[in-house]
Amino acid sequence: MLPQRPNLDQLRRQAKELRDRARSGDTDRLGALPVTLASAQLVIAREHGFASWAKLKDEVERRTTDLAQRVEAFLEASVDGRTGRAVRLLAETPAIAGHDFRTAVVLGDAARVRDLLARDPGLATRPDQRSGWTPLLGVCNSRWHRIEPERAAGLVEVARLLLGAGADPNGAVGSPGRRGHCSPLYAAAGLAGHPALARLLLEHGADPDTPAALYHTAFHDGDHACLRLLLEHGARAEGSATLGAAISVDDAQAVRLLLEAGVDPRVPLPADSLAEVDPATPPIPAVTAALEHDCSAELIEVLLERGADARAEAHVMAVRRGRTDVADLLTRYGARDDTGGIDRFLGACVRADRAEAERLRPPLDRLGTDDLASIVHAAYHDNAAAVDLMLDLGFPLDARGDDGATALHAAAAAGGLRTVRLLLARGADLEAVDTTWGSTPLTWASVGSGFRMGHAEAPDWVAVVQTLIEAGASPHEPWVAGKPPSGEVGALLRRYGLAPENDEDEAQA
């Protein structure tokens, strides 16, 4: 059992000593677990009565962290999206709620905020010494309206009190376009997704074109309330970038709202709005971008109806990807048919039309790198029938797609269990590394679970990770700093003794 005041550094040293002894041959305490620091940490945790090192670490921190430190952790979790951690901290230490003005603000405790402002009106505009944020930024970033919807009205009232006491609705921290930049409207509309709060800010003079606000609503605004609100108030400056964001998440309704507001679909989209990070990447035509992101025919038709170019190259891409619905749509809107035999062959493969693919089959040496990458694209969709057909037709298992990923990387990232099992049965290399990050399919599955990557109809990252490990995948750092797995996959990795090196990364809630 843990002592009343446990020492986390001492427990870490015990785990390292256990690992070192195991490396020297004394593996009794590790049993069948791999000889890693993560395994040693798991053993230490179990010996103290905890199911994982993370749970042991949480308990140690709970016993040894003073209230002021827990308040800081609570405030950070309440505004950066780690809602599970915020809830746990408040449940474990209810005194956090009444600790100071900042906790009252992020919790939407309007009565307490009103009382404290009456005593010291300067609190409304005084920046926090640690973060530099004003109280208005705190309330606008708070996620407690999502954690406990009954707090939503209180958060709006807190913002009203702050604005009435002199808070600046346009008071931002950081420089636009740089990490750390935040304004009240960007936070309320683009990050927290709180339309009533965003409306209050606009009524008090917030600039609807505040940097990043319109763009981020396309990623986080599921019911489009904040997007409608910003457009109604004249936001337009980020129109093309916002259109790119809406396309990248296949949101036909958001695209329709943007086009109705006057965003021009004929203007090529900034590459960075579509998650293309290479600054040298030229702007991308809207329909091409929609095809690249496997958008619905409905979204693509909305673009075409509003004047987006029906380009011949988009028609070729649609045929190669087996998107006969989009190819026909583009033809109706005037796209020229420039497809060749290889394009139609690849389309037949993606559709798993064996007879047509065999009829059109070219010599394998006529297929270029991009052609062979079709198998990786099919794996990213968990299209096991297409992958199986392509392998039968001679596509190599080690064909590379984006980022130098193999089909197994792509299927693992997408949680595509059917395709993962098929590829393993066909001899895919468990230890292949991509050419960008040098990571294995197991790492791709871990990261994919956290980001919910791919286009599998029924993704199952837990089963994929378990399948890869039981097939013999080596634990090549399945945890990537800043890209944690889902909570379920994180728990599974820990059960296999595969916690992060110092277990500082938390799985996503």
Q: Quick check: 291 and 321 in contact, CB under 8 A?
A: yes
Q: Which of 67-71, 247-251, 468-472 has the lowest mean pLDDT?
A: 67-71
- Residue 386 has a pLDDT of 98
User: Which is higher by pLDDT, 483 or 404?
Assistant: 404
Q: What is the pLDDT of residues 425-456, one digit of tens each?
A: 999 999 999 999 999 999 999 999 999 999 99
- Which residue has tokens 């277990």? 503
- pLDDT bin (cut points 50, 70, 90) of residue 504 is very low
User: Which is higher by pLDDT, 111 or 484?
Assistant: 111
User: Residue 508: in which H helix or E strand, if any?
Assistant: none
User: Which is higher by pLDDT, 463 or 59?
Assistant: 463
343/229 Cα distance (integer angstroms): 44
- Give the mean pLDDT of 303-324: 96
Tokens of 241: 């970038």
- Give the mean pLDDT of 464-475: 92
Instruction: Give me the residue spans of the domains in the chain.
Output: 8-64, 180-234, 238-339, 363-495
- pLDDT bin (cut points 50, 70, 90) of residue 103 is very high
Instruction: Give the list of residues 6+ apart from residue 56 with CB closer than 8 angstroms, or none.
Output: 2, 11, 44, 45, 48, 50
pLDDT of 313 > 80? The answer is yes
Q: What is the CATH number of domain 363-495?
A: 1.25.40.20
- pLDDT bin (cut points 50, 70, 90) of residue 233 is very high
- Give the mean pLDDT of 251-276: 92
- Residue 223 has a pLDDT of 87
Tell me phi and psi for residue 269, to 5 degrees: -90, 140
- Residue 4 has a pLDDT of 66
- Residue 505 has a pLDDT of 42
pLDDT of 502 > 70? The answer is no
- Residue 84 has a pLDDT of 87
- Give the mean pLDDT of 222-234: 93
- Residue 485 has a pLDDT of 93
- Residue 509 has a pLDDT of 45
One fold for both 238-339 and 363-495? yes
pLDDT of 364 > 50? The answer is yes
- Which residue has tokens 């270029």? 368
Count, residues in the chain? 509
CATH number (1.25.40.20, 2.140.10.10, 2.60.40.420, 3.40.190.10) of 238-339 reads 1.25.40.20
Q: What is the pLDDT of residues 113-167, one digit of tens each?
A: 999 999 999 999 999 888 889 999 999 999 999 999 999 999 999 999 999 999 9
- Which residue has tokens 């304004």? 183
- For the chain, give the mean pLDDT: 91
- Residue 178 has a pLDDT of 67
253/230 Cα distance (integer angstroms): 15
Q: What is the pLDDT of residues 277-297, one digit of tens each?
A: 676 789 999 999 999 999 999
- Residue 277 has a pLDDT of 66
Residue type present at position 105:
V
- pLDDT bin (cut points 50, 70, 90) of residue 177 is low
Tokens of 219: 């990623």
User: Which is higher by pLDDT, 65 or 217?
Assistant: 217
324/350 Cα distance (integer angstroms): 11
Q: How far apart are the first and last CA of the chain?
A: 28
